[in-house]
Amino acid sequence: MNPIPEEDETSIITEESIRIEKKQSKNNIEDNKDSYANNNNENSLIQSENNINKSNITEEINNNINININQKKNHLNNNKKNIKKVIKKVEYKIILLGEFNVGKSSIIAQFVDNNYQKIEKQKNCKNKCKSIAVDSETVAKLELYDSSGEEKFNKTLPNQFYKDAYGAIIVYDITNKESFNKIKFWINEIISKCPSDTIILIIGNKTDIKERVVSYDEGNLLAQKYQIEYFETSAKTGNNITLIFEKLLFEIIKKQNQNETKSFINERSSQRKSVKLTEKKNNLNRENNNENNNPKSKCKC
Ligand code: GDP
Ligand code: MG
Q: Same domain for 153 and 126?
A: yes
Phi, psi of 226 (to 5 degrees): -100, 10
Pocket test for ligand 1, best of 97, 101, 145 (most atoms within 8 A of CB): 101
Question: How many whole angstroms separate alpha carbon 82 and alpha carbon 76?
Answer: 10
Atom of ligand 1 nearest to the CA of 146: 4
Number of H helices, E strands in the chain: 8, 6
pLDDT at 233: 98
Q: Is 37 inside any structural domain?
A: yes
128 part of a folded domain: yes
Q: What total of structural domains would you count in the chain?
A: 2
Q: Are residues 74 and 92 in the same domain?
A: no
Ligand nearest to the CA of 103: 1
Does residue 182 sit within a domain? Answer: yes
> Of the candidates 86, 110, 125, which is a domain's last residue?
86
Q: 249: CA distance to ligand 1 center in Å? A: 23
CA of residue 152 to ligand 1 center, whole Å: 14
Q: Are residue 239 and residue 116 in the same domain, yes or no?
A: yes
Last residue of a domain, one of 23, 55, 86: 86
Specify whether 44 is located in the same domain as 107. Answer: no
- Nearest ligand 1 atom, CA 106: 7
What domain range includes position 54?
33-86
Considering the domain architecture, whether residues 101 and 69 belong to the same structural domain is answered as no
Task: For residues 191 and 106, state if they share a domain.
Answer: yes
179 ligand 1 Cβ < 6 A: no
Output the pLDDT for position 111. Answer: 96
110 plus 251 within the same structural domain? yes
User: What confidence score (pLDDT) does residue 159 get?
Assistant: 93
Whole-number pLDDT of residue 277:
56
Amino acid at 84: K
Q: Is 262 inside any structural domain?
A: no
**238 and 101 inside one domain:** yes
- Give the residue from 242, 257, 272 where a domain finishes: 257
**Buried-exposed string 8-26: b where 16+ CB fall within 10 A, e elsewhere:** eeeeeeeeeeeeeeeeeee
Instruction: Evaluate: CB of 197 within 6 angstroms of ligand 1.
Output: no
Total residues found in the chain within this entry? 301
pLDDT at 91: 95
pLDDT the model gives residue 176: 98
Q: Are residues 227 and 107 in the same domain?
A: yes
Verify that 104 and 228 share a domain, yes or no: yes
Q: How far is the CA of 185 from the centre of ligand 1 (A)?
A: 21
Q: Which ligand is nearest to the CA of 118?
A: 1
Query: Is 293 part of any domain?
Result: no
Q: What is the CATH number of the domain that holds 191?
A: 3.40.50.300
Distance 6 CA to ligand 1 centre (A): 136
Please tell me the predicted confidence (pLDDT) of residue 299: 41
Regarding whether 74 and 157 lie in a shared domain, the answer is: no
74 within 8 A of 126, measured Cβ to Cβ: no
Q: Is the whole-model pTM more than 0.75?
A: no
What ligand is nearest to the CA atom of residue 100?
1
> Does residue 64 lie in a domain region?
yes
pLDDT at 24: 76
263 lies in some domain: no
Residues 106, 38 within the same domain:
no
pLDDT along the chain (301 residues), means of 10: 46 62 70 60 65 71 81 80 74 96 95 78 65 91 89 82 97 98 96 96 98 98 98 98 97 91 74 59 52 42 37
The answer to whether 96 touches 108, Cβ cutoff 8 Å, is yes
162 lies in a domain?
A: yes
Per-residue confidence (pLDDT) for residue 301, from 0 to 100:
37
